[in-house]
Structure 1
Amino acid sequence: MAGARTVSRVGAGALRAWCRPVTNGLLVGITGYVSTVPLVIAALVAAGAQPQEMIAALAVLGLCMGLPAMVLSICYRSPLSVGWSTGAAALLVAHGPVQGGLRSAAGAFLLAGLLTALSGLCRPLVRALRTVPAGVCSAMLAGVLVQPCLAPLWALIGRPDPGLPIALAWIVVRCISRPWAVPVALAVAVWVTPSAGLSTITSWAPPSPGMLQPRLDLHGAVSLALPLFVVTMLSQNAPALGLLRAHGYRARPRPVLLCTGAASMAGAFFGCLGVGLATVTAAMCAGPDSGAHRGRRWAAAGVAGLCQVVLGLAAGLIAPSLLALPGEVVGTVAALALLSTFLTAIRTTARAAWAGWDASLAPASTFLVVCCGAAWLGAGSTACAVLAGLTCHHAQRYLRRRGCRAGLTGEGD
């Protein structure tokens, strides 16, 4: 009898120990998906996707995120959370309509995924990416996000309704619980818009993905695929791997990059954005909210991946409500979802520029080239901005070695 009670106590204790990672994984999966899905829909609109293609892409994206997260977390016993590339979605929104439509965008997604997979096999490519200064990459991302974040603000000044209640709801909930701020703002957006809401549930149908034939061309590779790859690697994959190492997990880059690159390539045939490690959700899964026992926190990322799969399969229910929203409402919610990414990019850029005049020129030139929309020789403004930033960075290093710094340090100013 005593032995049975002891076994029951041990079983109850083990159940309680696994309860926190599971519940935190549910929270991370739901909030992570819902808080950024308006941004992904805005990116797919910019890529030229039709409503049925968006629903199919969201469904496949759920599989491309959830399955790698579950496999990697279980195999390596680390909270390896996978999500769609927020930076890539912001790039598409800022890029505007893609020449050639969704097929050309899918070609860029396919090439970016291939580069990610190759970086897992080719160590020199990873080392070359690490030579790109953090200030240049963050300045590029900050410049890309300026227009998507400011456009809803100008619309709000001209027409406060319905953007004002969405923004107020976001501010109030963010002060109470940051992860729920964007989901609540999205719920308010659906509530204040008569054309969206429960009426779309009656017409729900399971998503039926159809394969595309991606179109590869040099212009798309230079202006879109390369910036998508660089932003995903330097704003998501690299920081997430560093964060996991800081929490004491041995995160091996090769299997992670191979898995996420293969998933991105598979999703490209359905018009899906690329995927990568999710820094914010990885931090939530690896932190103490997932339980005191560090060896069990991998379950939070696995459960979050399962939520992503389920939510992806429910895209036929979620997407019609969002597609029924006016463009300015979707833009407002997407801007609120991007705001934390924008502030992080600005903070990283300022930290890099604060090191001195020599260090500030490369991020400043990158940011200004993106903001002015300069495009040279058919390359997009993002590729031109990175080129300008790297040129300034390496020119300064060369002149510093030669001792010719007088003209760059502003001593005569």
Structure 2
Amino acid sequence: MTRMLQPVLAGVVTTVVGFASSFAVVLAGLRAVGADERQAASGLLALCVANGVVAVWLGLRQRIPIVVAWSTPGAALLVATGTVQGGFPVAVGAFAVSGLLLTAAGLFPVLGRWIAAIPTPIAGAMLAGVLLDLCVAPVRALAEIPLTAGPVVLTWALLSRFARRWAIPVALLVAVVAIALTGPGLGAVDMRPVLEVTAPSWSAQAMVGIALPLFLVTMASQNVPGMAVLAGYGYRPPLRGILVSTGLASTLGAPLGGHAVNLAAISAALSAGPDADPDPARRWIASVASGVSMIVLGIGSGLATALVLLSPPLLVEAVAGLALLGALVSAVVSAVADPEGREAAVVTFVVTASGLTLLGVGAAFWGLVAGGLMTLLHRRGKSARTPADEGPVDETVPDRDQDRGPDAGEGGPYMPQPVRPAGRTG
């Protein structure tokens, strides 16, 4: 009995941590692109149900712990983008197109290779620029609403040291208590689950400013790391089936307000690791339990939305910013890891973080363009140099990497990482 409960509990914990850590980001993103209260609540419910259904389907079919989530960086992108001309219906159309692009990436591998061809520093810098504004919100909150934000930030700081997994959920609980003590109460708020259909419309501005960046951010910061986490635990899931399933779910959920469905990245380790079950072949139970739990939480999404609506907007942004600090760290590290790509990465970051809107298109797209142009310019300059331009070579000085092998890097010789035993791939 205990052995059966272990993966189920792991799946429930995965869902609770994932939901509590980032639902405020999702609601903030939907509101930023023009959703009203009902549309935002509908979007959160649609995402929960879509995540749950896809996770249960893939888990039962593949017998692999495939955890499905919404795109938290994608929601942060919506916050940075803001309302586009045409309002929320145009944003919904962009969500649907982004889902179709995810599906196409699964059906046509060449599209996935094009995404992989985007230099890692550029992708990381774009994501870092998107996340920056939300990640500084806790600092602004401490300055403007210290009595409310102070306990939230302090709780997060302490638990990030002693119980990192629960740092954001408990900080959110402290925020809820603060809202209850200082806010107007929940009596006047409708907490029932709501589904609101928004007829999509399309514009070139939204395709370039929302759909394309949302697709790129979701692929680069969710699906690729999610596959890496599963591979780290020895699983080799079929990427094509995952992209097709999550892409179709994204497209079908778009009219209800859902922005993107994808593989979980960080929280995936909670269900794929040994804490879920010592036997790797049984860990798929955790992902199925996670999917069911997400559907259940979706039913209570009205309460989550009500709490966010009753709280000071800056407090919501502060909690969201704390939840995204880990993602910002990863993005910055990937942006500056390659010395040759740092200059282009910095340009990408600066343009994206500027909030620039040009021709009705948001800063994320222009950051990607600026970084890409800088990369091409530097590559052309490098290829145009001749050996004479580099100066004479002193052949008496031995190559310091000569004896380190072809896989050696600046940090030392290459050390292969152990691969954990794989579960059934179904």
TM-score, length of structure 2 as denominator length:
0.87
- Residue correspondence of structure 1 range 113-192 to structure 2 within 5 A: 113-192=99-178
Shift of the alpha carbon at 1:203? Answer: 5.4
2:119 & 2:60 partners in 1: Cα distance?
33
**Counterparts of residues 4-403 of structure 1 (less than 5 Å):** 15-194=1-180, 199-200=185-186, 204-352=190-338, 356=339, 358-403=340-385
Which whole-Å CA distance do the structure 1 matches of 2:122 and 2:45 have between them? 34
Q: Is the 8 A contact 2:97 2:207 kept in 1?
A: yes
Distance 1:230 1:362 in 2: 18
Give the counterpart letter for 1:387 in structure 2.
Answer: V
Q: Which has the higher helix share?
A: 1
Offset at 1:98?
3.1
**1:213-253 C-alpha deviation (Å, 9 max, x unpaired):** 11111000011110000000011101111221222112111
| Aligned residue type for 1:236 | Q
Greater CA drift, 400-409 or 51-60: 400-409
| Structure 2 CA distance for partners of 1:18 and 1:372, relative to 1, 3 Å | same
**What amino acid is aligned across from residue 344 of structure 2 in structure 1?**
A
* Amino acid across the alignment from 1:207: P
For the 8 Å contact 1:139–1:345, the answer to whether it is kept is yes
Q: Secondary structure at the match of 1:280?
A: coil
Deviation of 1:279 (Å): 0.6
Q: How far did 1:167 drift?
A: 0.5
Deviation at 1:347, TM superposition (A): 1.7
Q: 1:406 to 1:238 in 2, by over 3 A?
A: farther
CA distance in 2, matches of 1:108, 1:340: 27
Q: Partners in 1 of 2:34 and 2:163 — Cα distance?
A: 35
Structure 1 position 130, deviation (Å): 0.7
Q: Secondary structure at the match of 1:374?
A: coil
Q: Is the 8 A contact 1:191 1:197 kept in 2?
A: no
**In the TM superposition, what is the alpha-carbon distance from 1:342 to its structure 2 partner?**
1.0
Instruction: Work out the CA distance in 1 between the residues paired with 2:187 and 2:30.
Output: 22
Q: d(CA) in 2 for partners of 1:398 and 1:245?
A: 36
The sequence identity of aligned pairs, in percent, is 36
Q: Give the secondary-structure state (helix, strand or coil) at the position aligned to 2:311.
A: coil
The one-character-per-residue Cα deviations of 1:178-199 (angstroms, maximum 9, x if unpaired) are 1211111111111112477894
Count of residues paired in the alignment? 391
**Residue identity matched to 2:70:** W
CA shift, 1:204, in A, is 4.8
For 1:360 and 1:50, how far apart are their aligned partners in 2?
A: 40
Q: 1:290 aligns to what SS in structure 2?
A: coil
Tell me, yes or no, if the aligned pair for 1:18 and 1:296 is still in contact at 8 Å: no
- Deviation, 1:155, is 3.4
Once residues 390 and 89 of structure 2 are traced to their aligned partners in structure 1, the CA distance between those partners, rounded to angstroms, is 45
Q: Secondary structure at the match of 2:262?
A: strand
The one-letter code sitting in structure 2 at the alignment partner of 1:59 is L
Q: In 2, are the aligned partners of 1:46 and 1:98 still within 8 Å (CA)?
A: no
Deviations 1:102-146 (A, max 9, x none): 111111111100100011111110111110011111100101111
Structure 1 vs Structure 2 CA RMSD: 2.2
SS in 2 for 1:83: strand
Unaligned segments of structure 1, at least 5 residues: 1-14
- Where in structure 2 are there 5+ consecutive unaligned residues? 392-426
